[in-house]
Chain A
Amino acid sequence: MRRQLVTSIVMLLGLTVVLGFGYPLVVAGLAAVGFDHQANGSLVYRGGKLVGSSLLGQSFTDSSGNPLPRYFQPRPSAAGAGYDASASGASNLGPSNPLLIGFVPGVNTVGLNGRPSATNPFATKADPACVPTNPKGSPVTSPAPGQRYERGPNGSYVCDPDTVPERAIDYRQFNGLGAGAPVPIDAVTASGSGLDPGISIDNALDQATRVARVRHLSGGQVVDLVNRYTQGRQLGFLGEPTVNVLELNLALDRLR
């Protein structure tokens, strides 16, 4: 036993030097020779200043967090306050969690008395799956007697804005789509990393009209740019085609 412990210690020390330091340094050295740009994070500069990485999504919002209509908007993000690259991660909300899908009657809906309910008592005209918020603005997923709720000007409940049905409503409104227009699923769901650099082509085309209007460009001009920054499937079948939001927005800014 004692001899095995001594061998273990010597072996571990040797391996720590070789694998712990030698190996990553060798990889870094070879990478710097062949793929320096990638190894450093595919950084993107504008006017000599670092603006981000073409592999990482970023927020296009004003200082109070509202999306800027002149930019294409990325997917919702669960990384920190949104696209926080020091806190990558997903929402981890389960497929039946009311915080994700809203209150769906018969599945996860709870009535005012705190019991399972066959109808959603918090339904609003716009959002039948509405999850109410309390006066502090936090969603209430386990209603109980005595709970206080936030009310809008017309007396209806104020819904948690981060459920998929609410995000769909916002997406249609922001992009001037009709009430029944289909919304691409990627536009209303958060990604696994919270740093997804891409959106689907449908999502980009839905937004193109709005961006063109705000920027006084022709629709065709913007759609052309969308096409140029669409990354197709590698070898024709690997992965999904996506539009790189950062590169597209930088190209838009370069137009003027």
Chain B
Amino acid sequence: MTGLDWGQFLAIGVVTVVVAPLLGRYLAATFRGGPAPGDRVFLPVERLAYRFTGIDPDSSQTWKGYAIAVVAFGAVSTLFLYAVLLLQGVLPFNPTHAPGMSPALSFNTAVSFVTGTDWQAYSGETQASYLAQMAGLVVAQFTAAAVGISVALAVIRGISGRARTIGNFWADLTRSLVRVFVPLSVIAALVLVSQGAVQNFSGFRTATTVAGGTQHIPGGPVASMEVIKLLGTNGGSFYGAGGAHPFENPTGFTNMFDLLLVIVLPFAIALMFGRLIGNRRQGRAIAAVMAILFVGLTLISMQAEAHGNQLLPTRVSQLASSHNIGGSMEGKESRFGPGGSALMTVGTMGTTAGATDSSLDSYTPIGGAGAFVAILLGEVSPGGDGGGLYSILVLALLAVFLAGLMVGRTPEFLGKKIRASQMKLIIAYVLALPITILVLGSLSLVMAVGTRSILNPGMHGLTEVTYAFASSAQNNGSAFAGLSANTPWYNTMLGLTMLIGRFVPIVLALAIAGSLAGARVHARTRATLDTTGPTFVAFLLGVILIMGGLIYLPMLILGPIGERIVG
């Protein structure tokens, strides 16, 4: 890594440390109930929305009511998007003449965007109409992010509050869209356009190149999608090349701005959690665990990519200098370089965005492993908008339980006792996704319909498949993109994986919250385990790493670790 790579890394760190607490304070004020900043502008909009939809924002739901609303909204959104994608060929606003998607691809894509995964088995330039991108995919990206925050709010109310109900899903959804996502998106989109991201409706423009050839220059409402792709930790791009495309991510500045858009909200939500429960140290402890994982994984990958591909001949110069970019440059843009690419790509992997600015499939084994591990650890570094928080809270409950076993006390979190009924749900939460990933991934590796799609030979090919299932289950959506995933098998299986990966954890997290809602809050005594100090931070980190290691180490050894040792 060059000094300038460190500079970019530190700059992102400093800006996040400054902005996330401010945003966390704003979020806490917004979602605490009662008067909130910007009421004068936002309240009338919200009242209009409530009147239009017939929602009573003050009626609080039980966890079951909340979960039913989330699932119902997900089902309706998926069906609607499915229909739009299937029929886009005959619908208006289609200047690029994209034909309707096949049923399997429509299913996969609809599920993918509604769950916030944004796995893309299609290529945006030619396979998605402007209507589908704007009115279908972008709307799903907004709602996926808002649903994530809403569920996190419900979980916070359940595990810390004294009421038996956990809030109103429709009010949470509306509020997070009106007061967080829409205003931030408009501002950030203009920043991107000022740097060169496109925002037009003109379809392809035909240019006669300098050498006399033709080039079809794409257009589209790109910046507006790019922003919510990042801010909503979604990851679905307008164009096939995603964040590597110069019309989405034009400069070194936008590359870092994009990363900031992805990670700042999840960190802010962790800090908001601390404020909402009236214990800011607790929020900081959770954010610290997220930050340590983020820093570790990102630095490992940056280092590996800056070092370059050791299998290339030495007279191909991978040594960085003031005139040479150096490093592992296959699949990377010259304006970002290997350090900036790995920082952005692996940085966003710890959220559920998976918004790559380079081809992960061409990363060095260890560089790619950094991205893979960020997903496998359960997307908590810092995780998706809301999803990162409820995932890490479940792991914190598990950590409290383990710590309780060690010292022989009834485990408690935020003053509430963790009992067998909660532990069953927590174990189901922790095991649901690994089982899905390993079973469906293994099936794909022993069946011809699965192995036919692999591009790269050997251990790398195994990683292409297992990564696809891990990425889908954790709603990340990035890919080792050599895998030809637009087949009936992968469209269907990955679609199912995404559905399981989204709704099973949400329902279980709400159930855990529901079972703790209204439970008695015990006063702190000297014997209460402190969950805000460095000891707990270290312990929670250990639990996350050991859980991930026990479940996935064999798969990693057969994949990237083996590739590194043999290579």
Q: Which residues of A does B touch, CB under 8 Å?
A: 1, 4-5, 7-12, 14-16, 19-21, 23-24, 26-28, 30-31, 34-35, 38-43, 46, 49-53, 55-56, 58-63, 68, 71, 75, 79, 83-98, 100-101, 104, 107-108, 129, 141-142, 164-165, 168, 180-186, 188-202, 205, 231, 233-235, 237-242, 246, 249-250, 253
Contacts and interface: CB of A to CB of B under 8 A. Distances in A.
B252 A239 contact: yes
B425 interface: no
Given A185-B308, A195-B246, A23 B224 contact: yes
A68 B211 contact: yes
12 contacts: A24-B138, A26-B186, A40-B202, A55-B196, A85-B216, A85-B218, A95-B563, A142-B457, A184-B325, A185-B326, A191-B331, A240-B335
A32 B146 CA distance: 29
Contact of A202 (B210, B245, B324): B324
A56 B217 contact: yes
B211 A59 contact: yes
Interface in B111-168: 123, 125-126, 134-136, 138-139, 142-143
B503 to A, nearest CB: 14
B309 A101 contact: yes
Given A165-B313, A240-B325, A86 B330 contact: no
Interface stretch (B283-291, B357-365, B389-397, B434-442): B357-365
Contacts of A58: 207, 209-211, 213, 215
B247 interface: yes
Given A240-B325, A240-B340, A55 B213 contact: no
Interface stretch (B102-110, B187-195, B267-275, B516-524): B187-195
Contacts of B219: 40-41
Contact of A23 (B185, B210, B245): B185
Contacts of A200: 323-325, 334
B318 interface: yes
Contacts of B94: none
Contacts of B173: 11
A91 B329 CA distance: 12
B329 A186 contact: yes
B38 interface: no
Contacts of A15: 139, 142-143, 177
A41 B222 CA distance: 10
A235 B11 CA distance: 11
A89 to B, nearest CB: 5
Contact of A42 (B196, B223, B326): B196
A192 B362 CA distance: 9
Contacts of B217: 41, 43, 50, 52-53, 56, 85
Contacts of B332: 189, 191-192
Contacts of A239: 251-253, 255, 335-337, 340
Contact of B223 (A31, A108, A231, A242): A31
A20 B456 contact: no
B415 interface: no
B334 A240 contact: yes
A238 B68 contact: no
B250 interface: yes
Nearest to B190: A30
Interface in B311-368: 311-313, 315-318, 321-337, 340-341, 356-359, 361-365
A87 B8 CA distance: 31
Contact of A237 (B7, B202, B216, B221): B7
Contact of B69 (A7, A9, A184): A7
Given A12-B80, A35-B190, A182-B315, A240 B252 contact: yes
B317 A184 contact: yes
Most A Cβ at <10 Å: residue of B4, B8, B457, B481 = B457
Nearest to A232: B252
A60 B337 CA distance: 23
B315 A180 contact: yes
A100 B325 contact: no
Nearest to A165: B313
User: Lowest 9 A-B CB distances belong to which pairs?
Assistant: A239-B252, A192-B244, A20-B135, A90-B359, A88-B241, A94-B456, A92-B482, A94-B460, A240-B337
Contacts of B204: 86
B208 to A, nearest CB: 6
B340 A16 contact: no
Interface string B420-432: 0000000000000
Interface of B: 4, 7-8, 11, 49, 52-55, 68-69, 72-73, 75-77, 80, 123, 125-126, 134-136, 138-139, 142-143, 170, 173, 177, 182, 185-186, 189-190, 193-202, 204-213, 215-219, 221, 223-225, 239-241, 244-247, 250-253, 255-256, 308-309, 311-313, 315-318, 321-337, 340-341, 356-359, 361-365, 455-458, 460-461, 480-482, 563, 566-567
Given A50-B207, A180-B315, A202-B323, A11 B53 contact: yes
A43 B139 CA distance: 29
A4 B68 contact: yes
Given A5-B72, A142-B457, 8 more contacts: A19-B138, A27-B193, A63-B212, A93-B455, A97-B456, A107-B566, A191-B334, A241-B322
Nearest to B309: A95
A94 B361 contact: yes
A201 B325 CA distance: 8
A20 to B, nearest CB: 3
A129 B312 CA distance: 10
A237 B339 CA distance: 12
A92 B485 CA distance: 13
Most B Cβ at <10 Å: residue of A52, A60, A104 = A52
Contacts of A242: 325, 334-335
Contact of A95 (B139, B252, B321, B330): B330
Contacts of A8: 69, 72-73, 75-77
Contacts of B223: 27, 31, 39
Contacts of A108: 457-458
A212 to B, nearest CB: 18
Contacts of B330: 90-91, 93, 95, 100, 164, 189-190
Given A38-B197, A39-B193, A10 B52 contact: yes
B256 to A, nearest CB: 6
A233 B193 contact: no
A73 B153 CA distance: 54
Most A Cβ at <10 Å: residue of B205, B209, B216 = B209
Contacts of B256: 238
Contact of B200 (A40, A192, A194): A40
A72 to B, nearest CB: 11
Given A10-B53, A51-B210, A94-B456, A185 B246 contact: no
Contacts of A55: 196, 246-247, 250
Contacts of B125: 85-88
Nearest to B481: A92
A95 B457 contact: no
Contacts of B482: 92-94
B246 to A, nearest CB: 4
Contact of B4 (A38, A164, A233, A246): A233
Given A27-B190, A88-B245, A188-B316, A19 B182 contact: yes
